[in-house]
A and B are shown apart, each in its own frame.
Chain A
Amino acid sequence: MENKLGRNLPDKLMNELHFKPFETTKIGNPVFQRTAPKVQVQNGHDKLKDDLKQVVKKNVKDGMTISFHHHLRNGDYIFNLVMKAIMDLGIKDLTLAPSSLTGVMNDMVIKAIKNGTVTNITTSGMRGSLGDEVSHGILKNPVIFRSHGGRARAIENGDIKIDVAFLGVPNSDRCGNANGMEGPAAFGSLGYALMDAAYANKVVLLTDNVVDYPNTPASIRQTQVDDVVKVDQVGDPNKIGSGATRFTKDPKDLTIARAVNQVIVNSQYFKDGFSFQTGSGGAALAVTRYLRQAMLDNHLHASFGLGGITKPMVDLLEEGLVDKLMDVQDFDKAAADSMKNNKNQQEIDASWYADPDNKGSMVAQLDIAVLSALEIDTDFNVNVLTGSDGVIRGAVGGHQDAATAKMTIICAPLVRGRIPTVVDHINTAVTPGQSIDVLVTEFGIAINPNRPDLIKQFQDVPSLHVYTIEELAKKAESIVGKEEPLQYTDKTVGLVEYRDGTIIDSIRQVKD
């Protein structure tokens, strides 16, 4: 079958897994019954354990769904520790349902797939050797890719039913009151993990820092936690977040960032009390710096900054240019520290951040989102998941969710080396063009024809070179030449959900 974007979906799998094809970005007002976790009652006196293997043995059985968060990113020690214990116990046929998978987990996941420990995966993304193996068909069942908001929705409505969540935390008391802010492995917001803590049947915290009871402020609460396991080290602080955020000197990035800033400043949304989300890429970080100057020049301030928080956003908060930072994760140490020090930096869970099926998430209030792209087609559909070789090398992240903003700007170079970004046909559709408003490249910008209001606002701005997206695609092709189409096998290795749970695209095994 084909969905509304014309993406080909595998009928048999779609029927077997009870998926519906993507239709629209509009969510409407449906009514849902949420799910609730099973609770094994205890008085909380005996939660603290030091034998991880015993805790795993007690809680994890063949065929279960287990979860992790990725707030420790490439500094994570927890995932490998728990997975090793699971493999040592010979547990098989697990579904892995982490908020995302980072590079440090790759070898372990590959091993777990090969020996039958893991037979299903749902995640935001994967990169490196794991993405390569999955794209070459290592897993029998397709990986289900979900956005951060989509995962929150799936957990709330029971599409993802987590049996046991293993959550690494930089501190906890003996009863499971924990936050992400203090301790050697502090990473700031626990945003993604809060879903697991609230909805998993069993919640196991792992920490290297057991503090006095009661531990406050508590993001994860003792009422949610079954066991607290003391481990030697939760993570490597040097790899959890990038250190000092550096200001890009790449002239291409700076050109793009300046143009993005011009788009924002000349739009109807640049007014006192506006809100924005920017990512963590080189150009996106630079946008925040340019935006700061524009806000000073125009004497206006923002009501909130959303999403993954970075140092440039913290600078705006501390300068009084932004009232609140709504923080689902912290990309660098300065942002993590700021959550501890600034009362106006609010920790939010993934549902509050981006879930389409709740009573109103933050992204629905967002004015401006600045996002990146690996590829964008002439219908403005965006790929952030597979590379030009068709191999999985990215993550949905909050892309589909933040694109809900009133003005969504994609910033990307027209070409990367010989790889074109603006193309006639993208390998994988992740975010529908219906929700993308402006594309900014170093050569010029393109405005979605479904936004005549923005075309009017930008077409006469001297600093903005406005093209049609077809013209930009032609320009890219004139630089790099015409790509040969990729060769795939018939096997589906991944299904990409839109944030509402419909399937926006499938990913097939690459042919070498």
Chain B
Amino acid sequence: MGINKTAMDGTLESSDIQITVSKGTDGVQISLESDVKKRFGDDIIATIKEVVKKFGLDNVNIKAVDQGALDCVIRARTITAIQRAMDNSEQPAWEAL
């Protein structure tokens, strides 16, 4: 089980976050753009990493464009984007949820 394709979830509306997941070769790489990066950047990245870990992904590139999303939104968008990238949206990895 791994990343099959590049997939995305989320919008650029305020209080949302857009997560793009693609194949990686160099561990878990997360790039973050956010107006609240100075105050919450580490929190946002930690939340994304937590979700990645649940899916057992060792190599993945994630691009996050944040518009001030709360943690619950960040988790939901990351889960959906990863499932789309893994082609298992039809049969979700329930144990990761």
| Beta-carbon contact of B40 and A480 below 8 Å | yes
Which residues of chain B come closer than 8 Å to A416, judged between CB atoms? 68
For residue A81, CB closer than 8 A to chain B, the reply is no
Assembly CA distance A50 to B43 (angstroms): 60
Q: How far is the CA of A419 from the CA of B38 in the complex (A)?
A: 11
Interface 1/0 per residue, B38-56 and A, CB below 8 Å: 1111110000000000000
A28 at the interface (CB under 8 A from B): no
Nearest opposing residue in chain B for A484, CB measure: B39
Cβ–Cβ contact A418 & B68, under 8 A? yes
Q: Within 8 Å of chain B (Cβ to Cβ): is A486?
A: yes
Are B40 and A418 touching (Cβ within 8 A)? yes
**B residues engaging A (CB < 8 A)?**
14-15, 35-36, 38-43, 67-71
Whether, in the assembled complex, A417 has its beta carbon less than 8 Å from a beta carbon of chain B, the answer is: yes
Residues of chain B lying within 8 A (CB to CB) of residue A480 = 40, 70
Q: Which residues of B contact A486 (CB under 8 A)?
A: 38-39
Cβ distance A495 to chain B, nearest Cβ, rounded Å = 23
Known pairs A417-B68, A418-B69, A479-B70; A389 contacts B15 (CB<8 A): no
User: Could you list 10 A-B pairs, sorted by A, with CB under 8 Å?
Assistant: A389-B35, A389-B36, A417-B69, A418-B36, A418-B40, A418-B70, A479-B70, A483-B39, A484-B38, A484-B42
Contact B39 A389, beta carbon cutoff 8 Å: yes
Query: How far does the alpha carbon of A431 sit from the alpha carbon of B70 in the complex, in Å?
Result: 29
Nearest CB on B from A341, distance (A): 39
* With A479-B70, A480-B70: A417-B39 Cβ-Cβ less than 8 Å: no
Residue interface mask A449-491, B partner, CB < 8 A = 1: 0000000000000000000000000000001111110110000
Which residue of chain A has its CB nearest to the CB of B15? Answer: A417
Which chain A residues lie closer than 8 Å to B41 at the CB level?
A: 484
A486 and B69 CA atoms in complex are apart in Å by 20
User: In this complex, what residue of B is CB-closest to A418?
Assistant: B68
Ranked 9 nearest A-B pairs via Cβ: A417-B68, A418-B68, A483-B39, A417-B15, A418-B36, A481-B43, A389-B38, A484-B39, A388-B39
Chain B residues with CB below 8 A from A487, complex form: 38
Q: How far is the CA of A482 from the CA of B39 in the complex (A)?
A: 8
* Contact call A483/B68, Cβ cutoff below 8 A: no
A419 B70 Cβ-Cβ under 8 A? no
Cα–Cα distance between A482 and B40 once the two chains are bound (Å): 8
Q: Contacts A388-B36, A481-B71 known; A417 to B14 CB distance under 8 Å?
A: yes
Instruction: Return B50 CB to nearest CB of chain A, in Å.
Output: 13
Q: How far is the CA of A430 from the CA of B88 in the complex (A)?
A: 53
Closest to B39 in A: A483
Give Cα distance in the complex from A389 to B34, angstroms.
Answer: 11
A481 and B74 CA atoms in complex are apart in Å by 13
Hey, what's the 0/1 contact readout for A474-512 against B, CB within 8 Å counting as 1? 000001111110110000000000000000000000000
Interface centre among A417, A418, A479, A483 (most CB of B within 10 A): A418
Q: How far is the CA of A17 from the CA of B25 in the complex (A)?
A: 58
Per the bound structure, the CA–CA distance linking A359 and B68 in Å amounts to 47
Cα separation A278 to B39 with both chains bound (whole Å):
31
Per the bound structure, the CA–CA distance linking A484 and B40 in Å amounts to 6
Residues of A contacting B39 with CB < 8 Å?
Answer: 388-389, 419, 483-484, 486
Q: Which residue of A lies closest to B43 (CB)?
A: A481
Find chain A residues with CB under 8 A from B35 CB. 389
Which A residues are in CB contact (< 8 Å) with B43?
A: 481-482
Smallest CB–CB gap between A172 and chain B, Å? 44
Task: Out of B38, B42, B67, B71, name the residue touching A417 (CB < 8 Å).
Answer: B67
Residues of B within 8 A of A389 (CB): 35-36, 38-39
The residues in A between 370 and 420 inclusive whose CB is less than 8 angstroms from any CB of B are 388-390, 416-419
Specify the chain A residue showing the minimal Cβ separation from B34.
A418
Q: Which residues of B contact A419 (CB under 8 A)?
A: 36, 39, 68
Q: Closest A residue to B16 by CB, please name it.
A: A417
Residue of B nearest to A487 (CB): B38
Interfacial chain B residues near A481, Cβ < 8 Å: 40, 43, 71
A residues less than 8 Å from B70 (CB atoms): 418, 479-480
Q: How long is the Cα–Cα vector from A419 to B71 in the complex, in angstroms?
A: 13
**A334 to chain B: closest CB distance in Å?**
29
Complex CA–CA separation, A164 to B35 (angstroms):
40
Contacts A389-B38, A419-B36 known; 7 new A-B pairs at CB < 8 A: A389-B35, A417-B36, A418-B68, A481-B40, A481-B43, A483-B40, A484-B40
Task: Give Cα A479 to B70, complex, Å.
Answer: 7
Q: Which of A329-356 contact B (CB under 8 A)?
A: none
Cα distance, A389 to B71, chains bound together (Å): 19
Q: Which residue of A is nearest B14, CB measured?
A: A417
**Cα distance, A483 to B68, chains bound together (Å):** 13
B89 smallest CB distance to A (angstroms): 27
Shortest Cβ distance from B74 into A: residue: A418
Give min CB distance, A365 to chain B, whole Å. Answer: 40
- In the complex, chain A residues whose CB is within 8 Å of the CB of B36: 388-389, 417-419
Min C-beta distance of A411 to chain B, whole Å: 20
B74 CB to closest chain A CB, in angstroms?
Answer: 10
**How far, in whole Å, are A417 and B71 apart by their CA atoms in the complex?**
11
